[in-house]
Amino acid sequence: MSLKVYINGKLFDKAEAKVSVYDHGLLYGDGVFEGLRSYGGKVFKLEEHIQRLYASARAIHLEIPMARDELAEAVLDTLKVNDLTDAYIRLVVTRGAGSLGLDPRKTTDPQVIIITDSISLYPAELYDHGLKIVTAGTIRNHPAALNPRIKSLNYLNNILAKIEGTNAGCLEALMLNHTGHIAECTGDNIFVVEDGVIHTPSVDSGILEGITREAVIDLARSIGLTVIERTMDRHDVYTADECFLTGTAAEVIPVIECDARLIGDGRPGPITKDLHHRFHALVRGEAAS
Ligand code: PMP
């Protein structure tokens, strides 16, 4: 059976799920999106993702033509139709088709798209051995240009950094902000552990407020660990005992090298491993409850 894709209230076979070449999402990256996961048929932090989608849309003056609970319901229905329990879900809202000019007032029909598919993950061995990252020369968008808190369809900034990472043989790249402090990786938030205390760049460092980031902060605090959100630089990464990334697809993944400096002893550290296991148990446990 072909996967069905939801567009504006209708389901289409994957091959037939299309938007106009005049859609400003395609022409200008004008739109917003979310990446979610379901475990055992239950979507992790569905409300938070919907909330962030509507916040991103509001920030770019895009009105999503349906209520939040309708959209949440449509996500669950699309999963069911596709008989998917452990899935990756992509929610996209484009500005819709318009004229060839930038003016969003000339667009008429925002496209609300829900894609549910199997998830492609980092190779399992990276969770055991850790990831190498490099710092990209491309900095994260200046918040006064395109605020990284907006999960917009305009991801070229991160794509350019990702290309730098892959050219250097790394699957992720660290992005600095306009003041030279660390922000996040191209599709994940970053954390370090120093003397048993967890540190992560604060939201005003120019990051996406990751939903996994928030969940991991809560998890760490719930087991008595201290988490400090602050301004950080690369020195904090180079000299850390441990480093890890968080994201919907990655969950919690260890980093063992940055810019050719080994982090700690070059192996995933105990706090990273513990949080990885606890997060894994949390998402799957919630699914089972
Ligand atoms: N930062 C960026 C730039 C991202 O695109 C993402 C999502 N892939 C994240 C961080 C992690 O966010 P979340 O935990 O909500 O998936």
Range(s) of the chain covered by CATH 3.30.470.10: 4-117
Cβ atoms 81, 89 nearer than 8 A:
no
Task: Supply the mean pLDDT for the chain.
Answer: 96
Left if phi > 0, otherwise alpha if psi is -120 to 50, otherwise beta: which for 258? beta
Q: Whose CA is nearest to atom 7 of ligand 1?
A: 187
Calculate what percentage of the chain has a pLDDT beyond 70.
Answer: 99
Mean pLDDT, to the nearest integer, of 267-284?
96
Give the Å distance between the CA of 185 and the centre of ligand 1.
9
pLDDT at 130: 97
How far is 201 from 189, CA to CA, in rounded Å?
A: 8
Cβ atoms 175, 138 nearer than 8 A:
yes
Q: What angle do the packed helices 46-59 and 211-222 form, to 10 degrees?
A: 130
pLDDT exceeds 90 at position 173: yes
Calculate what percentage of the chain has a pLDDT beyond 90.
Answer: 94
pLDDT, one tens digit per residue, over 46-67 is 999 999 999 999 999 999 999 9
Q: Tell me the fold of 125-283.
A: D-amino Acid Aminotransferase; Chain A, domain 2 (3.20.10)
pLDDT at 272: 98
How far is 122 from 166, CA to CA, in rounded Å?
A: 14
pLDDT at 50: 98
* Token pair listed for 11: 């389901």
Mean pLDDT, to the nearest integer, of 252-269?
98
pLDDT at 230: 98
How far is 79 from 24, CA to CA, in rounded Å?
A: 27
* Whether residue 200 has its Cβ less than 6 Å from ligand 1: no
Residue given tokens 């919630």 in the structure block? 286
If pLDDT is split at 50, 70 and 90, which confidence band does 288 have?
A: low
pLDDT at 122: 86
Helix boundaries (H) for 29-95: 46-59, 68-81
Mean pLDDT, to the nearest integer, of 183-208?
98
Task: Point out the catalytic residue in the list 45, 132, 151, 162.
Answer: 151
* Whether residue 89 has its Cβ less than 6 Å from ligand 1: no
More confident residue, 108 or 29: 29
Known catalytic residue at 14? no
If pLDDT is split at 50, 70 and 90, which confidence band does 289 have?
A: low
How far is 59 from 175, CA to CA, in rounded Å?
A: 23
What amino acid occupies position 107?
T
ipTM for the complex shown: 0.99
pLDDT at 177: 98
What amino acid occupies position 58?
R
pLDDT exceeds 80 at position 120: no
* Whether residue 45 has its Cβ less than 6 Å from ligand 1: no
pLDDT at 287: 61
Range(s) of the chain covered by CATH 3.20.10.10: 125-283
* Whether residue 131 has its Cβ less than 6 Å from ligand 1: no
Give the Å distance between the CA of 100 and the centre of ligand 1.
31
Please determine, looking at this structure, whether the domain spanning 4-117 carries the CATH number 3.10.20.30. no
